[in-house]
């Protein structure tokens, strides 16, 4: 069975190597290939670029939009935070803590970037002058795993502390949102245009939404589905991927959940990102990228 809304794109990534996706305002799609130690870029017209990071132990881990045509990248193997544009690496610096386990990164409107340090149980910030500052995540043993921003404030998942933390307006002292359920472990987070934070909690098999006022709603996909990655959209909903499922799901603003099978037995999605056009991009564990074109109302393709 085919579905014309899906198109598949071979970007030369290693099977199992792609870990993160980002889309810049010039409609280019960026991804990191940790296995090959490269950053890949697909331009709006389909031109492919492949950027090595210049050190033998490089292990790119995450990528996030920085400016209209540039991205931030974390390199776990060398403790570096880098900026790349269509010409390649234009700048880099190192985290102060060696072997910090750099993970997710996100860019803010003021030109700074925040990132998580999974092995050091910390978070970090790169300011516009390139200076790196490290902070405690707000809870000892929080195990920061992901980070997201609305452009001015940042949120990060702390599965080890059963909490979500936030830093508003560049504050260095994070606040905490704790859950009543002691098993809560939000591992991936994403912020929508409406300011709501969405999160995936694979252990409890739920997708959650934290409203601006602090209310938390949780939604449970069909029995047996374990959500893994989330990507908020511009219509008040959130797309998500599922463990070992060649499908994509969406929760709308009213909590209605739909799932759509990815045709062709091409692989399982491991990352999801929304484009300014409204399209959704996925990275598969096979190394392919997938474009889900202008989804509109996904109910047309519910499986």
Structure tokens, 135: 């902070």
Confidence at residue 300, expressed as pLDDT on a 0 to 100 scale: 40
**Around Cβ 114, how many Cβ atoms within 10 Å?**
26
Q: Are 171 and 139 in contact (CB under 8 A)?
A: no
Q: In whole angstroms, give the CA distance from residue 283 to residue 271.
A: 5
Among the listed residues 194, 190, 196, 193, the one whose alpha carbon sits nearest the alpha carbon of residue 240:
190
- Whole-structure pTM value: 0.93
Average pLDDT over residues 202-217: 93
| Per-position DSSP letters for 172-196, written without gaps between them | SS-EEEE-SSTT----EEEE-TTS-
DSSP classification of residue 245? -
Q: Are 289 and 281 in contact (CB under 8 A)?
A: yes
- Show me where the domains of the chain are located: 6-301
| pLDDT > 90 fraction of the chain, expressed in percent and rounded | 79
pLDDT at 1 over 80: no
pLDDT at 251 over 60: yes
Task: Give the model confidence (pLDDT) of 279-296 as tens digits.
Answer: 999 999 999 999 998 666
Q: Are 195 and 185 in contact (CB under 8 A)?
A: no
First to last CA, the chain: 12
> Residue 260's beta-bridge partner residues?
248
Q: Are 241 and 227 in contact (CB under 8 A)?
A: yes
Q: In whole angstroms, give the CA distance from residue 297 to residue 135.
A: 41
Among the listed residues 127, 101, 129, the one whose alpha carbon sits nearest the alpha carbon of residue 114:
127
Q: Would you call 159 exposed, middle or buried from its count of C-beta atoms within 10 A (0-12, 13-18, 19+)? A: buried
Q: In whole angstroms, give the CA distance from residue 219 to residue 274.
A: 21
CA distances from 67 to 44, 214, 266 (A): 16, 30, 32
Question: Who has greater pLDDT, 300 or 164?
Answer: 164
Task: Give the model confidence (pLDDT) of 171-182 as tens digits.
Answer: 567 889 999 898
The CATH number of the structural domain formed by 6-301 is 2.130.10.10
Among the listed residues 124, 235, 118, 145, the one whose alpha carbon sits nearest the alpha carbon of residue 199:
145
Among the listed residues 197, 277, 269, the one whose alpha carbon sits nearest the alpha carbon of residue 20:
269
Among the listed residues 3, 23, 107, the one whose alpha carbon sits nearest the alpha carbon of residue 279:
23
Confidence at residue 296, expressed as pLDDT on a 0 to 100 scale: 67
The C-alpha R_g of the chain, in whole angstroms, comes to 18
Q: Are 131 and 117 in contact (CB under 8 A)?
A: no
CA distances from 255 to 15, 170, 217, 258 (A): 34, 31, 9, 10
Q: Are 133 and 172 in contact (CB under 8 A)?
A: yes
Question: Who has greater pLDDT, 172 or 37?
Answer: 37
């Amino acid at each position: 069975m085919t579905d014309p809304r899906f198109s598949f794109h071979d970007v030369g990534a290693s099977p199992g190597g792609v870990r993160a996706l980002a889309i810049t305002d010039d409609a280019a799609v960026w991804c990191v290939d940790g296995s090959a130690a490269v950053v890949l870029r697909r331009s709006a017209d389909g031109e492919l670029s492949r950027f090595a990071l210049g050190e033998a132990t490089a292990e790119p881990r995450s990528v996030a939009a920085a400016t209209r045509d540039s991205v931030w990248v974390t390199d776990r193997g060398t403790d570096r935070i880098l900026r790349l544009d269509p010409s390649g690496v234009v700048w880099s610096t190192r985290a102060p803590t060696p072997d910090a386990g750099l993970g997710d990164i996100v860019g803010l409107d003021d030109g700074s970037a925040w990132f998580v340090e999974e092995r050091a149980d910390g978070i970090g910030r790169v300011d516009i002058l390139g200076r790196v500052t490290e902070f405690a995540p707000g809870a000892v043993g929080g195990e920061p795993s992901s980070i997201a921003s609305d452009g001015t404030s940042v949120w990060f998942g702390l599965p080890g502390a059963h909490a979500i933390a936030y830093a508003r307006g560049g504050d260095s002292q994070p606040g905490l949102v704790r859950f009543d359920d002691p098993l809560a472990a939000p591992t991936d987070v994403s912020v929508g245009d409406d300011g709501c934070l969405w999160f995936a909690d694979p252990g409890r098999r739920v997708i959650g939404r934290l409203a601006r006022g602090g209310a938390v709603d949780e939604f449970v996909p069909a029995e047996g589905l374990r959500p893994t990655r989330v990507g908020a959209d511009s219509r008040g909903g959130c797309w998500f991927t599922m463990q070992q499922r060649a499908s994509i799901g969406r929760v709308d603003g009213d909590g209605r959940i739909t799932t759509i099978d990815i045709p062709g037995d091409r692989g399982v999605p491991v990352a999801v990102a929304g484009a300014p056009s409204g399209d959704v991009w996925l990275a598969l564990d096979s190394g392919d990228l997938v474009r889900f074109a202008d989804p509109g109302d996904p109910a047309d393709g519910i499986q």
